[in-house]
Amino acid sequence: MYFRFGPTVASSAMVAAVLALSACSAAPSFSPASRSAAQRNFAQQSLAPAADACSTNTCIYVTDRYLYAITVYALTAKGNVAPVRVIHGTSTLLNQPVGISLDATRALHVANFGSNLLTVYAPGANGNPAPTKMISGANTLLNGPVFVALDSTGKSYVANWYGNSISIFGASASGNVKPAKMIVGAKTGLFEPLSVALDASKNIYVTNYGNGSVTEFGATANGNAKPIRTIIGSKTGLNGAGGLAIDAMGRIWVTNYGANSVTVYARGAAGDVAPILTIVGTKTGLSVPDEIAFDSSGKIYVTNQSANSVTVYAAHASGNAAPIRTIVGSNTLLGSPAGMALR
């Protein structure tokens, strides 16, 4: 996704743009061209009250990795529109935020890749708020936390890029706590895991950037567990597998950084299987697509790191489909969009 040079099918130019960290350094090797302008805009951004349209309506929450920010948009937002809310500033402790999920109360749970830290913000958080809760420290075994998913009980599932692992924390976990469970070991097939998602049975799905695969684990998986199923091979179309979502029918949706595409697999797919549909082509606006999500009507939302945009597609989009809406432009404050959640 962004982190280091390693085994990948993406071109060298794509790797340089996407991985962001050089082979010999843990510091970012580039900054988005719009960074300084976006930071000026953050300083000028007025704050909405805690109770706003997003307090009761579904909105789009986007992490901005290199601007250390979270921007929030109305679900119907399009064009060069200003966010409804912006979370940004030193009190937030945001440090290369990537993954984001919202719980049933609309509290925000964020994985900070730059500091091995999970931060939680109150519902309606805006401006420069301190986290209401943090998970951090040696006991947590967080090691390059990237994406985070929540189940219906509030448990957190965290993909660790450097640790080749999935850490699972209880809903009440806080501070320097050990994970309740951890999926890690040679049998897991985890290799530079990025996104993590759950299906209705709480089976755990993971995209693995390092070996171009999607691994599925049972709901009770722990330790050096073998996947139930793995999607991998030349027919799959996986190319820099990154963002991940499971739809209401159990289909598996994956963004591919190296191919500027979204590939979709049938429920229960395994092995070297072709996608049942693919969104790809010059009309799509996909440009290093990071994360993917759906609204209640099935519309498809994708963050695009290189285009500093969020593209929205019709529920049954396929092929070289143009977005029905795009959030893009200087007013949006998007500078390096990464994770996304709809709630």
Per residue in 144-184, pLDDT (tens digit) is 999 999 999 999 999 999 999 999 999 999 999 999 999 99
In the chain, the domains with their CATH numbers are 32-342 (2.120.10.30)
Distances (CA, A) of 244 to 105, 157, 173, 219: 23, 13, 25, 17
Identify whether the C-beta of residue 110 lies closer than 8 Å to the C-beta of residue 118. yes
Distance of CA 41 to the CA centre of its chain: 24
Query: Which two tokens mark 212?
Result: 């171009």
Phi, psi of 154 (to 5 degrees): 95, 5
Q: Is the pLDDT of residue 32 over 50?
A: no
End-to-end CA distance of the chain: 24
Structure confidence at residue 272 (pLDDT) = 98
Identify whether the C-beta of residue 313 lies closer than 8 Å to the C-beta of residue 38. no
Cα 322 to Cα 282: distance, rounded to the nearest angstrom = 8
User: What is the average pLDDT across 266-292?
Assistant: 98
Structure confidence at residue 291 (pLDDT) = 98
Q: How confident is the model at residue 51 (pLDDT cuts 50, 70, 90)?
A: confident
